[in-house]
Amino acid sequence: MQDFSKGAAWIGGEVVPVGEAKIPVTHWGYRRSDVTYDVVGVWEGNFFRLGDHIRRFRASMERLRMDPGQSDAEIEGILHRIVAASGLRSAYVAMDCLRAQPVPGLPRHPAHVPAYLVCHAVPWAWVASPEMIARGMHLMIPEVRRIPPESFDPRVKNFHWGDLTEGQFEAEAAGADFAILLDAQGNVTEGPGFNIFCIRDGRVVSPDRGALEGVTRASVFELCAELGIPVEIRPLPVAEFRDADEIFAATTAGGIMPASRIDGRIMNNDRPGPLSMRLHDRFWQKRAEGWHATPVRYAAEPVGT
């Protein structure tokens, strides 16, 4: 009997234990990072904003001229199937589309490399631990700069993490939890796996370019509208960011994550700010009430290949 205790994956039309899902080292998804992906969270048996994640995944595939052959409905069915196979009630669920290798006899050009789908579900993992969120994340601005949108569109979710990885090593050396990268003009972009926001004079400010247009970021904007909090989407200079009243981040694997320090500067008595926590608490309250929820079909019939 197969062991799905560590998660489940869909690859080649079959559901297998996640540890058995493998791709060849010759495939361009590995050798060239020629891949796009998306991640949807499952919390207490419900997907959050499943349709939004699949739509963004499809937009990313189309931007990279990838077609794995599955419709959006089929991808949704696959995601239900792997979560059901794993039995997980809270999970990190990824959908990847990557290129294989050139067809023999054709030019070594991406136009001649077929794309295919791989999906997996593993136990939920926090970007920032609950303890880190309770005390507020410690952030810093590294020397490394974010890959510019003119080189690769950050709205296409990707594995080009060289700059983010370097930033994390700089954060570790500085005794911080996470690095927040700037663009070449000195404006804030994003952190490793999350969007970033600051609060000034009761207004939430979010960068207008250089970052993924996060699904949880969209949820923040919805919460702000509900609570009557003004939002500004615009360039965010680093000096303004460092001097903010509050700072928080948002991501699928963590929701709203407040900060308490930036480059050693202590905010709000070294604790998360009040407006950040108001958004954090409302986010999880609404999640518990079924906001944007799609119940996992744990008894779903197998989907086709």
The upper half-sphere exposure of residue 85, i.e. CA atoms within 13 Å in the direction of its Cβ, equals 28
Give residues with Cβ within 8 angstroms of 197, minimum separation 6: 204, 205, 206, 220, 247, 248, 249, 250
| Mean pLDDT of the 126-130 span | 94
Between the alpha carbon of residue 256 and those of residues 6, 130, 275, 279, the distances in Å are: 26, 11, 11, 7
pLDDT at 1: 81
| CATH assignment, 8-124 | 3.30.470.10
| Mean pLDDT of the 116-126 span | 97
Per-residue pLDDT of 54-91, as tens digits, reads: 999 999 999 999 999 999 999 999 999 999 999 999 99
| Mean pLDDT of the 40-57 span | 98
Domain 8-124 and domain 130-288 have a common topology:
no
pLDDT at 64: 98
Does the structure show a pLDDT above 70 at 300? no
**Residue 200: band (very low, low, confident or very high) from pLDDT cuts 50, 70, 90:** very high
Give residues with Cβ within 8 angstroms of 134, minimum separation 6: 272
CATH superfamily of 130-288: D-amino Acid Aminotransferase, subunit A, domain 2 (3.20.10.10)
What DSSP letter does each residue of 2-25 carry, written as one string? Answer: ---TT-EEEETTEEEEGGG----T
pLDDT at 304: 39
Does the structure show a pLDDT above 70 at 276? yes
pLDDT at 299: 87
Query: Could you state, in order of their start, the residue ranges of all structural domains in the chain?
Result: 8-124, 130-288
pLDDT at 303: 43
Per-residue pLDDT of 147-195, as tens digits, reads: 999 999 999 999 999 999 999 999 999 999 999 999 999 999 999 999 9
Separation CA 271–CA 268 (nearest Å): 5
First to last CA, the chain: 22
Per-residue pLDDT of 263-275, as tens digits, reads: 999 999 999 999 9
**What's the mean pLDDT when you consider all of the chain?**
96
Does the structure show a pLDDT above 60 at 253? yes
pLDDT at 301: 47
Q: Is 121 helix (H, G, I), strand (E, B) or coil?
A: strand
